[in-house]
């Protein structure tokens, strides 16, 4: 048996599956969990790969440590989405963290990940973590000047995720950030989501002074060439704390100071797609 994700009828990814572990239609999306032959357990939402046990570290290390090693003394972080807990696990590796708020729209994702993905949910009960299950867009409106970092760990811009790729959302993010804060969003693949990348980085550039797209090689996402985009009025990912980055790297399987620098180097065709300010 094979799990197959189709990329717009252009290409597809196949993963050999041992068995299906769970299947349900939640209030928001179709949730499927499989045991694969090679990648451990696999979570898909509306038929799209979100993570496997074997490769999730790449995405979660890169969406957290790039911005966290750039902030001087990160204390308060908001994760919008991220119901599998992988981003929260990585954030808590930083000693300065006092509070991590996670707002996931679909509680079923977290409940099921607690059963099938114990290595990503392992830090969700840490006393510094506050979990909310509601619409991230509305939730964030309640905050002003509070977070050092806001991470949008969303699914793709279909279904419940669409609003998280638009300018109104980035304006709310800016309001909820401290003046010297930074945001990061997963920003899709330049091979299959060129228009999304152009529109979302353009929308960020309308709201923030610095917009920086960077690359993470996520094997099981479309094309494997995945991007994340940071935006801030004052911080630049180039100005990161190399010492802290090296210390965090001791706990990582992908991220390290060389990767931090290299991830910011964009191929020419990607430079043409995004609104990078630096």
Distance CA 4, CA 48 (A): 9
Strands 41-45 and 48-52: antiparallel
Nearer to ligand SPD (CB atom), residue 50 or residue 149: 50
Closest CA to 49 of 65, 62, 36: 36
Residue 147 binds to ligand SPD (criterion: CB under 6 A)? no
User: Which of these segments, 33-41, 128-136, 153-161, 165-173, binds ligand SPD (CB under 6 A)?
Assistant: 153-161
Q: Which residues contact 195 (CB under 8 A, 6 or more apart)?
A: none
Task: Give CA 34 to chain center in angstroms.
Answer: 21
Minimum distance from residue 50 beta carbon to ligand SPD (Å): 5
Q: Single out the residue of 51, 88, 100, 248 in contact with ligand SPD (rule: CB under 6 A).
A: 51
Residue 155 binds to ligand SPD (criterion: CB under 6 A)? yes
- List, by residue number, the catalytic residues: 153
Residue 82 binds to ligand SPD (criterion: CB under 6 A)? yes
Residue 153 binds to ligand SPD (criterion: CB under 6 A)? yes
DSSP 146: -
Handedness of CA 195, 201, 207, 209 (dihedral sign): negative
Residue 67 binds to ligand SPD (criterion: CB under 6 A)? no
Site for ligand SPD in 172-211 (CB under 6 A): 186
User: Which of these segments, 149-157, 163-171, 252-260, 264-272, binds ligand SPD (CB under 6 A)?
Assistant: 149-157
DSSP 153: E
Residue 41 binds to ligand SPD (criterion: CB under 6 A)? no
Nearer to ligand SPD (CB atom), residue 125 or residue 258: 125
User: Which of these segments, 14-22, 49-57, 139-147, 248-256, binds ligand SPD (CB under 6 A)?
Assistant: 49-57
Residue 156 binds to ligand SPD (criterion: CB under 6 A)? yes
Minimum distance from residue 120 beta carbon to ligand SPD (Å): 7
Closest CA to 223 of 255, 193, 189, 172: 189
Strands 2-7 and 11-25: antiparallel
Closest CA to 113 of 91, 94, 138, 88: 88
Closest CA to 101 of 69, 140, 73, 57: 140
Four-CA torsion 7, 8, 11, 12, nearest 10 degrees: 40
Q: Single out the residue of 13, 33, 42, 50 in contact with ligand SPD (rule: CB under 6 A).
A: 50
Residue 48 binds to ligand SPD (criterion: CB under 6 A)? yes
Residue with tokens 């090693």: 69
Nearer to ligand SPD (CB atom), residue 61 or residue 148: 61
Minimum distance from residue 210 beta carbon to ligand SPD (Å): 23
Residue with tokens 């996931």: 104
Residues engaged in binding ligand SPD (CB under 6 A):
48-51, 59, 82, 84, 86, 153, 155-156, 186, 221
């Amino acid at each position: 048996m094979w799990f197959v994700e189709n990329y717009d009828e252009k290409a597809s990814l196949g993963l050999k599956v041992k068995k299906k572990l769970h299947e349900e239609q939640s209030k928001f999306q179709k949730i499927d969990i499989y045991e694969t032959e090679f990648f451990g357990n696999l979570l898909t939402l509306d038929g799209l790969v979100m993570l496997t046990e074997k490769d999730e570290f790449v995405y979660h290390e890169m969406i957290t440590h790039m911005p966290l090693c750039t902030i001087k003394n990160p204390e308060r972080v908001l994760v919008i989405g991220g119901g599998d807990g992988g981003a929260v696990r990585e954030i808590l590796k930083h000693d300065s963290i006092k509070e991590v708020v996670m707002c996931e729209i679909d509680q079923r994702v977290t409940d099921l990940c607690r059963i099938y993905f114990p290595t990503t949910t392992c830090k969700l009960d840490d006393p510094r973590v506050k979990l909310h299950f509601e619409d991230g867009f509305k939730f964030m409106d309640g905050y002003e000047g509070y977070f050092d970092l806001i991470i949008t760990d969303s699914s793709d811009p279909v279904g419940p995720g669409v609003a998280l790729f638009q300018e109104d959302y980035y304006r709310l993010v800016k309001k909820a950030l401290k003046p010297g804060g930074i945001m990061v969003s997963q920003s899709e693949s330049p091979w299959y989501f060129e228009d999304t990348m152009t529109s979302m980085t353009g929308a960020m550039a309308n709201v923030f002074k610095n917009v920086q797209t960077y690359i993470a090689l996520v094997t099981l996402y479309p094309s494997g060439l995945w991007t994340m985009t940071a935006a801030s009025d004052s911080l630049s990912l180039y100005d990161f704390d190399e010492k802290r980055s090296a210390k965090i790297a001791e706990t990582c399987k992908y991220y390290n100071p060389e990767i931090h620098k290299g991830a910011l180097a964009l191929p020419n065709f990607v430079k043409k797609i995004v609104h990078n300010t630096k």
